[in-house]
Structure 1
Amino acid sequence: MIDVVQEILAFNAGRDPDRLGLKYRNMRASPFGFLRGTCHLFYRSLPVDALFDEAPPVWSCGDLHLQNFGSYKGDNRLVYFDLNDFDESLLAPASLDLVRFLCSVLVAAPDLGVGRKEARAMGRAFLDAYLASLVSGRASWVERDTADGLVRSLLAGLNGRLRPAFLDGRTTLKGKRRCLRLDNGKALPVTESQRERVSALIAGFATQHADPDFFEVLDVARRIAGNGSLGVDRYVILVRGKGSPEGNELLDLKEALPSSVLPRVATAQPVWRAEAERVVAIQRRMQAVPMAFLEPLRFRKRSYMLRGLQPSEDRVNLEVARSGEGAVAGVLASMGSVVASAQLRSSGRDGSAIADTLIGYARESRRKDLLDAAQACAVQLRQDWKTYSEAYDDGAFEP
């Protein structure tokens, strides 16, 4: 039997206490927040079942849930809607991502403002679109001209967003020089040694580019974003870009750790030189277009992922009371197509199933089996959240 409290404490040992405290608070707030913060526990609790072990291997997000989709600017400077978190990514049975996502829909039902029956119907909308896209055998992508519904509205709004307005939300302007804001709940100050380490890492990276001055570091802060990775070494970096102040750029630098899904997966994995190379390689395979500035970096014995800063608020609002049940179900259908396209796009690479195998899997899959498995996981997760909440309230997670 798994000791939920000790598992969580052991997994998060050594993390930045300021941001770890935020993670524990978010996990206490709701079962969905708990799901986001305990990917490792989810897979430890997953039953051994043919549904998981006999599905074809695919390149997987590893931590697929409602909040791991969003907009981002590609390296071609266009804005896309796609999977946007690959920290836990690996080669795994196709059903693992599906069941975790469906579980997230069921667990998030109160946050969405729907009952369990409606949440299950939304899960079916996701599955129907996923399976239909796999059967088609064609990978698609979602950008402003191909999107519809709420996703189209999101991308259309972002397409018109001006760089100065984005920078103004994250920085303060002193004359012609910007510095990062620390008063908006998105960043914390760094120590001088952290600033020097990050600046040295970016300076080394800059020498590989035709315009190294573009990556001149102007300011550094510890970034607050996500949930599961809170407390991991992560920074927001303000760089010169095309010139101060309006041409500055914001970068996200995050340490890469081993995938917590790996102990549950028997599928043989490629040998990666560093964890950041795993994350970046899989992300490039699965996304329609790579994120801007996406690169793996190494500093001594630690590896980091660099990319353009993606605002966490640039997501579709999935509250039914605000957007409508039909519109939210449409977003989940888009998510299903995105997942299928990512699997097709990365098919036949380093052990992943070829497209013909995925098409056969889609034709034979039973929606009910996947939904029932997700329901069982949701029941277990709510029980684990209750155990966690009692321990949290008793002070077990205080620094």
Structure 2
Amino acid sequence: MTDPDGTARQNLIRAELRRVDGADPGAWAPSPKHRKMAASPLRFLRGSAQLYYADLANGTLQLPQALLARVPTTAVMGDCHVSNFGFLTEEGSHGDTVVFCPNDYDDACMGHAHWDLARYIASLVLAADFCRGVLDGRYASDEVDDPADLTAATDEDAREAGRAFLDAYIRTCREGVDDPSRRDSALTKFPKGHVLRKPWKKAKRRRAGGRDFTAKSTLAKEVEIRDGRPRFRDRPGRFAALEPARARQVHAAFRPYVDDAVLDLVLRLGAGTGSVDLERFYLLVGPEHFAGDADLPLCHVVEVKQQRPASPLHHFPDLRPENRLDPAHLTVDCQRLMQRSPDMVLDEAVWEDKHWLVRSRHHARVGIDPEDVALAKKKPGKRLAAYAGACGEALALAHARGDRRSTRFEAAMARVLAEETDALLDAAGGYAARLIADRQLLKAVMSC
């Protein structure tokens, strides 16, 4: 069916956003999330995972049938893209091993691994488009001070990066077949010249005991010591104080889930793109009798976040029985499967008839922006391919952990994906082009 003026597509976008976000992008005052999504096609992809699965279900996006028919399901990220990988300390803020891995499990469920693969490859194309747009003034970036001597990755670079991503994924699966203990490994070190070398070293400096812990760790950025007690910083637009009665309610509901006293708590404002409109709280957890700077490494931030159903499940509700678990419970189970060493604080709760995810914030968390990997003075395509290769290895390890009893997943995925690499690259690249047009349709809705 053709849609020459885009009306049907525009209506689908509007309906899917309204269904999940509870807000109409065509309203007089669009939500903060929809304003973010309209800023670029990459932002649009990050906020519209539900549309991706609608397109898979209705046949708008068709991925290689062999991947569907011949590969077992496993635990998947659900919202896989270039900005949902990064560095963190294993076991949450209590660990000291810095790893590069998927860092967002809000849409995790039991599903098809190629869902993650195609979505990631599409995001590579949009990351390159975003960086070119930063240089020519189509998109805004807070990460680039002087673009004059920078070049951006091309569409051809993005395709080669997609190939590097799939090659690394296939290689890691094959290694897992030969040695099942491979799934218990992680990316913990990067050589000189690698695009991830600097952020890896940055993360190591920010872990507890690192030289930048007291100045640049997640804890240091969010917490200060006032009158001898640690407190959240006054950061308008990021944190908001709670009314005393509300603070007591939050404390009573979530104190049992954390591993020490709750020293302070705030409302977290405006986080992320996909979940920007969901309520969340930050709890500062540490020794009840805080004794000063020496006790600061014993403190950590715990996020309590309202959880909604994973994006794939509205359109694929019956794929696996595990997906019938409540949203936060499913997220916890999938994160525990996919991580080598899960957060020490990782739990779920039901409160005020809503599902809540309770999890550690990492001291050494370092995210990766598209500008970090697709913009450079020379050879941005090489940087993007190196980054994509690391993501492919990390994602293969995470997917493989969905079944620790056998290597059937790795064997099937390595065999079928090698046959379908070009078909998957073509499908994901075509979908990226659709999303560029979809972002314009969203802008048109919002300008009505």
Flag the 1:244–1:25 CA change in 2: closer, same or farther, 3 A: farther
Flag the 1:356–1:119 CA change in 2: closer, same or farther, 3 A: closer
Match of 2:126 among 83, 107, 110: 107
* Equivalent residue, structure 1, for 2:54: 44
Between the aligned residues of both structures, percent identity stands at: 24
Match of 2:80 among 38, 53, 64: 64
User: Does residue 1:360 correspond to 2:415, yes or no?
Assistant: yes
Flag the 1:367–1:354 CA change in 2: closer, same or farther, 3 A: closer
Summarize the alignment of residues 229-268 of structure 1 with structure 2, pairs less than 5 Å apart.
229-241=275-287, 243=290, 245-246=292-293, 247=296, 248-265=299-316, 267-268=319-320
Deviation at 1:352?
Answer: 10
Residue by residue, what CA displacement relative to the aligned partner does 1:9-34 show, whole Å, maximum 9, x if unpaired?
Answer: 2321179x9xx833222111100001
Match of 1:6 among 10, 15, 29: 15
* Equivalent residue, structure 2, for 1:376: 430
CA distance in 2, matches of 1:52, 1:257: 28
* Equivalent residue, structure 2, for 1:302: 354
Match of 1:158 among 200, 203, 206: 203
CA distance in 1, matches of 2:252, 2:424: 48
CA distance in 1, matches of 2:193, 2:314: 38
Match of 1:141 among 141, 165, 186: 186
Deviation at 1:259?
Answer: 1.1
Worse-matched range after superposition: 77-86 or 260-269: 260-269
CA distance in 2, matches of 1:286, 1:51: 24
Residue by residue, what CA displacement relative to the aligned partner does 1:124-177 show, whole Å, maximum 9, x if unpaired?
Answer: 111111111112223231124799823233222222224422334213432212
Report the TM-score, using the length of structure 1 for normalisation.
0.86
- AA aligned to 1:259 is A
Worse-matched range after superposition: 174-183 or 123-132: 174-183
Asked if the contact 1:72/1:291 (under 8 Å) is kept, the reply is: no
CA distance in 1, matches of 2:234, 2:41: 29
CA distance in 1, matches of 2:409, 2:230: 49
CA distance in 1, matches of 2:18, 2:407: 34
* Equivalent residue, structure 1, for 2:163: 124
Asked if the contact 1:135/1:362 (under 8 Å) is kept, the reply is: no
Residue by residue, what CA displacement relative to the aligned partner does 1:33-72 show, whole Å, maximum 9, x if unpaired?
Answer: 0100010012112325525632521211011000110112
Summarize the alignment of residues 4-43 of structure 1 with structure 2, pairs less than 5 Å apart.
4-13=13-22, 21-43=31-53
Asked if the contact 1:28/1:34 (under 8 Å) is kept, the reply is: yes
Deviation at 1:224?
Answer: 3.1
Worse-matched range after superposition: 368-377 or 137-146: 137-146
Flag the 1:244–1:227 CA change in 2: closer, same or farther, 3 A: farther
* Equivalent residue, structure 2, for 1:397: none
CA distance in 2, matches of 1:362, 1:371: 11
Deviation at 1:182?
Answer: 4.0
Asked if the contact 2:88/2:365 (under 8 Å) is kept, the reply is: no
Worse-matched range after superposition: 263-272 or 226-235: 263-272
Deviation at 1:245?
Answer: 4.7
Asked if the contact 2:345/2:360 (under 8 Å) is kept, the reply is: yes
Match of 2:439 among 370, 382, 385: 385
CA distance in 1, matches of 2:356, 2:377: 38
Structure 1 gap ranges (5+): 395-399
Q: Indicate the RMSD between aligned Cα atoms, in angstroms.
A: 3.0
CA distance in 2, matches of 1:274, 1:84: 21
Structure 1's consecutive aligned runs of 4 or more residues displaced over 6 angstroms after TM superposition are 145-148
Worse-matched range after superposition: 90-99 or 258-267: 258-267
Deviation at 1:283?
Answer: 0.7
Match of 1:179 among 222, 231, 240: 231
